[in-house]
């Protein structure tokens, strides 16, 4: 739970999306989005626990997902900037789609493979140190903790977004510029990781290089 909470704090596609949904559609919509995204995360973790060798070999799949994620983040940035330049629009057309927020969270999390190498690295270390054992009760409590930690982390962004909106008197134009800039920076960092071999596919092959994951010496 602690690792999951801390891992969800760096700015990323999903937590910033949850923040913007909270500002535009309310806390409950953002909560549904977060629940949808964390369900996919814990499914990915559960599958990786029982199929580590198979997951490690899916480099082409993760390469494709990296490109899809980059396109989505660029589209989110462009949509926010468009809304900022056209006050009559006043919303991110992607996050304000008619797709239910829960399913939007599921879809965006499903194509965002960042959490897979992160948990792949941590699970490998915990297995090595025999803190995590290949037992059903260990797996269930591990996944439960991950889900709770991620949800608490997302709540900080959700309620933080509401607080930010209130502090600038709900000036949606300023919010769109801020959120668009965050998405743009996220896209740049994501592209840099892809082209410098620090993407998800590389991390699956080298889990010891993942920041924050303790190394075996």
The whole-number pLDDT of residue 154 equals 92
The whole-number pLDDT of residue 31 equals 93
The whole-number pLDDT of residue 94 equals 61
The whole-number pLDDT of residue 216 equals 38
The whole-number pLDDT of residue 62 equals 66
The whole-number pLDDT of residue 214 equals 43
The whole-number pLDDT of residue 217 equals 34
Report pTM: 0.70
The whole-number pLDDT of residue 87 equals 65
pLDDT digits (tens, 9 = 90+) for 170-216: 566 777 787 788 888 878 887 887 777 655 455 555 555 544 444 33
Report the candidate in 61, 96, 102, 56 with the shortest Cα–Cα distance to residue 76.
96
pLDDT digits (tens), the chain, 217 positions: 998 898 888 777 888 888 888 888 889 999 999 999 999 989 888 887 877 656 566 667 667 767 877 787 788 788 878 777 776 655 665 666 677 889 989 988 888 767 777 787 788 778 888 888 888 888 899 999 999 999 999 999 999 888 877 776 656 677 778 778 888 887 888 788 777 765 545 555 555 554 444 433 3
Q: Which two tokens stand for residue 103?
A: 């399913």
The whole-number pLDDT of residue 151 equals 92
């Amino acid at each position: 739970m602690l690792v999951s909470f801390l891992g969800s704090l760096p700015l990323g596609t999903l937590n910033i999306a949850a923040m913007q949904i909270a500002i535009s559609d309310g806390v409950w919509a953002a909560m549904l989005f977060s629940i949808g995204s964390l369900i996919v995360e814990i499914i990915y973790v559960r599958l990786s626990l029982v199929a580590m060798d198979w997951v490690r070999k899916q480099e082409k799949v993760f390469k494709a997902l990296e490109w899809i994620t980059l396109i989505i983040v660029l589209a989110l940035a462009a949509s926010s900037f468009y809304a900022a330049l056209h006050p009559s629009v006043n919303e991110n057309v992607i996050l304000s789609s008619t797709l239910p927020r829960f399913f939007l969270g599921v879809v965006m999390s499903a194509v965002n493979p960042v959490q897979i190498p992160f948990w792949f690295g941590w699970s490998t270390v915990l297995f090595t140190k025999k803190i995590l054992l290949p037992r059903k009760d260990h797996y269930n409590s591990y996944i439960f903790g991950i889900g709770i930690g991620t949800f608490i982390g997302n709540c900080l962004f959700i309620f933080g977004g509401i607080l930010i909106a209130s502090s600038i008197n709900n000036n949606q134009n300023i919010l769109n510029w801020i959120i668009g800039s965050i998405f743009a920076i996220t896209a740049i960092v994501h592209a840099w990781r892809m082209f410098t071999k620090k993407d998800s596919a590389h991390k699956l092959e080298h889990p010891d290089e993942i920041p924050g994951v303790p190394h075996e010496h």
